[in-house]
Each structure stands twice: as C-alpha cells, then as structure tokens.
Amino acid sequence: MRAATRFVLVAVAVFVLLGVVGGTGFALGRLSASPPGQSGYRLPTKPEIAGRALIGKPTPSAPARFGLLEEITAIVESEYYDPAAVDAQKLTYGAAKGLVESLGEPNTAFADPTTTLLSEQNMQGSFGGVGITLGMSDATLTVAEVTEGGPAARAGIQAGDRIVAVDGRSTAGMSTATAVSIIRGEVGTRVVLTISRDGWAEPREFELTRAVIRPVNVTTRMLDASVGYLRLSSFTSGSAKEVEDGLIALKQQGAKGIVLDLRGNSGGLLQAAVDISSQFVGSGVVMLEQRRSIEPRPLPARPGGQATDLPLAVLVNRGSASASEIVAGAVQDRKRGVLVGERTYGKDTVQNVHRLSDGSSVRVTVARWYTPERQDIGQKGLRPDIEVAITDDDVKGRRDPQLDAAAEAVRSRLQTH
C-alpha cells in the first residue's frame, strides 16, 4: 500500500509543543529535523531517487545497492570493538538519513516516527497535551510559555519553571522533541511533571490530565477605528478558515484596511498558502510551480476572499519563509498591498512528505516555486516595499516601528482609496 503523501512547504524550524522554541519559541516546523530512520524501512528503488549511473556503468540493481549495506552491517555487528553500542535500529536510521543527505539539499530529509508524529500533529493544528511550550535554559528543560486555560495553567505551572522529570524519567540530557513526545498523548490520560522553581526547597510533582490543545494560530485586534490587525503564526490545515473568520470579525468591528503580520512565520502547507493568498488577491495567479523540467504551472486564487479590495500592508522579516513568502509575493506582484519590514528568508521549494510503513517519513523536494511575476526568491528572499528594522533599543523599549509603518501605510491608502 502506498505511503501517505502530503505537500508541504518545509519551514526552517521544528514545531515542538504549543508553538515554537528557538529565538522566540517554536515556529511551524515541518520536519526540519532529520533524525535517523526505523528498522525494517525499505529505501526507495526508483532510479530518479536512488541516483544515476556513472558514465559507461549500469545502475546497480536494488539488491546489489542495498546488499552493500547488509555487508557493512554484518561487518560492524561482528567486529566493532564495543558490541553493546551496536544498535541495528540506529544503523538503519543512519543509512536512511545518509541516503537522502547525499543529495546535498537540506529540505530533503528523513524523520523518525517520533518527529513525524509531532509534525503531523502540528500540521493538523490540535493534539492531546497539557498546554505548555518547552525550551532550553542553561541546558535544562524549561517551560517557555503556558497556555491560558490549559491543564498546566489550571495546575499552577508557570513560565520559567524547570521540568526535572516526566513520569519519573529524568529530563537530564533529554531533547525538547523527546520531552514533547512523552508529554503529549491521548486526551484523558495522565502525565506527571516534576517541577523545580526558584524559591522552592524541593521539586514538586504535578499530575495533569491531557486535554485537546489548539495552539492559537490567528490573533486579531483593531489598531484604530479603521485599521485591523491579523497575525498568522503558521500555515496548518485549519489556517485558511481561521484567517477568513478573523477577517470577517475585523470587518464587523469596522476595519476598512488590514495589516497582515507574517513575521516569524516559517511556513507550512502549500494549499493553506494558496487559500490564504486568495483572501487578499482575488482572482488571478498566486504562484507558479515548476516540477523537474516541466514548464511552470500557475496556481490560481480561489474566489470569495474577504479582503480582496481592502488597503493592505504585510509585515515580514527574516523569519518569514516558504508559505509566508508565497502570500507576500502574491500581494507584492499583484500590487494588492505593500510589504513592510525586512527582507524575507528566501525558501523557494516545495516538499512531498511520504509517511512510511513504520511511522517514519521521508521528505523530498519535488518542485520550485516562483511569484506571479516569476521572481526567483531562492536564498534572496523578498525585498519589502518599505524597509524598517527593529533595533535592540526598540525591543527593550517595547516599540514596534515596523507595525507603526505598516499601519501608517494602510491609513495613507485609506485616504486615497
């Protein structure tokens, strides 16, 4: 049976729990980590995947190619000086990882079952959890954020708390992804977090019942009587509906113009990018997609967008990548609004994610994409129409000159609209 497939615009960070960990927490990670694979995984045998023959040499058959791996495995298992360190599963993981990494293209990668499951949950937009975002502080697993109303918040867990054990298992040396895989689970089941906090003489245990966690992906507010603000954190399966609902709510509150904030949004699903672009650009082309040597094909906007005729400014920065750049590129090329902020990341490829029989996955770059005017943004990004930087002093003073500039750009257009 063919493995499940999904088109993804791979992000530049890895989703872990309720958002992002990293500079400001997790950003939509779509399998950007590439841990080794799983025992029993059969490597691809299609010639175009496995590689081309040397000039004058026939391509080895699949048994010949992978028989070599069996030879190496047998030698390692029989001769390696520390037999306790030889793990057949890890060897298979390493072979799978090495195969795709040999292509030299970072977005083509292999992911183990744990990483695959976390990514799929993040793409779906909800999962069973306790409502915390995890990070590392001084090599210690730390609560970076607590979701209001979630199990952790109700139990009194706070941002800054250190998690020293999960279900009695020490977190010393534990990766964030591993911790997330343990803390998440079936709704209604329980997990025990052992927490250390400044001022406590001893760590304390918190028994939490997992609940459905839906990370806040879209936030809206009115900047003034006529300008609405919508922030999108990631492009998941439910993002398009969330954006549409957010725009409807803003218009009901009197919004005549929109500031769309895509700063730090590192990407997500291709279809979500097209559908969200359609909320702003109306009819016509959103992007061009090119697979192998085929002529680029246009992907059109869907009719019925909520903000196709409203003055628009899109906030972007170096953390705006992939799907964010599709939306921003469509807005810029179709002259539907202005880009404000800093140059974007520059990720111009599309990935196909295949779920394998053991729960692991392989992500393969299958296409490049271009803006409607065929801008090649690869590693260059999109240049904003209005360039505004944020300084350290701005951050310390809690100022946002980029948002101020975007709001002013919308107000200026409203005066002539």
Residues belonging to the active site: 322, 333, 347
Residue 91 contacts by C-beta under 8 Å, 6 or more apart in sequence?
73, 76
Tell me the three state secondary structure of residue 355: strand
Q: Which residue has the tokens 């998690």?
A: 163
Give the separation between CA 289 and CA 120, rounded to whole angstroms: 24
- Which tokens sit at 62? 């699949």
Give the separation between CA 45 and CA 14, rounded to whole angstroms: 29
Give the separation between CA 206 and CA 111, rounded to whole angstroms: 32
The separation between CA 219 and the C-alpha centre of its own chain, rounded to angstroms, equals: 18
Q: Which residue has the tokens 């960070």?
A: 13
Sign of CA dihedral 386, 389, 394, 399: positive
- Which tokens sit at 163? 């998690």
27 CB neighbour count, 10 Å cutoff: 28
49 CB neighbour count, 10 Å cutoff: 14
Count how many Cα atoms sit within 13 Å of the Cα of residue 102 in the half-sphere of its side chain. Answer: 10
C-alpha closest to that of 307 among 326, 280, 333, 283: 280
C-alpha closest to that of 111 among 203, 24, 194, 14: 14
Question: Left if phi > 0, otherwise alpha if psi is -120 to 50, otherwise beta: which for 282?
Answer: left
Q: Percent helix, strand, coil in the chain (nearest 5)?
A: 30, 25, 45
- Which tokens sit at 178? 């591993």
H or E segment and range at residue 21: none
Q: Are 149 and 138 in contact (CB under 8 A)?
A: no
C-alpha closest to that of 49 among 364, 383, 385, 405: 364
Structure letter (DSSP) for residue 211: E
